[in-house]
Amino acid sequence: MKDFKFKTSPSSSSTTTSIQEGVHSASIVQVANIGLKLAFNKEDAPVEQMAVVFELETGDLIAKRMKFSDHPSSGCYAVFTAALPDQSEDEDEGG
């Protein structure tokens, strides 16, 4: 299996940008299965994780590692249901 490497924009520089605290609109531009990763507690079993890259309206990229989870209380579930809403639920409500 090939190692995952985040794509870099040709226009990106090596400087770090500070992003203001708050709510921002972003697009998911890259998602990759990065496989089993060791948990913080070394006694816990490794868990499947993915890497997600978000692009803000300003063009800034944010990368985040997440555990695979479809539990409604997980951050992973929240991100993907916000980005990819279930269209069949909307159709059911509209009749």
**pLDDT tens, residue order, the chain (95 aa):** 455 565 665 665 556 667 788 888 888 888 888 888 887 788 988 888 888 898 998 888 888 888 877 777 887 788 777 777 776 765 555 55
Radius of gyration of the chain (CA): 16
Write down the H helix ranges in the chain: 75-83, 87-94
pLDDT at site 67: 83
pTM score: 0.59
pLDDT at site 1: 44
Can you read off the two tokens belonging to residue 75? 């951050």
Can you read off the two tokens belonging to residue 44? 């816990």
pLDDT at site 6: 57
Helix H, strand E, coil C: the string for 3-14 is CCCCCCCCCCCC
Distance between CA atoms of residues 70 and 63, nearest Å? 20
pLDDT at site 2: 52
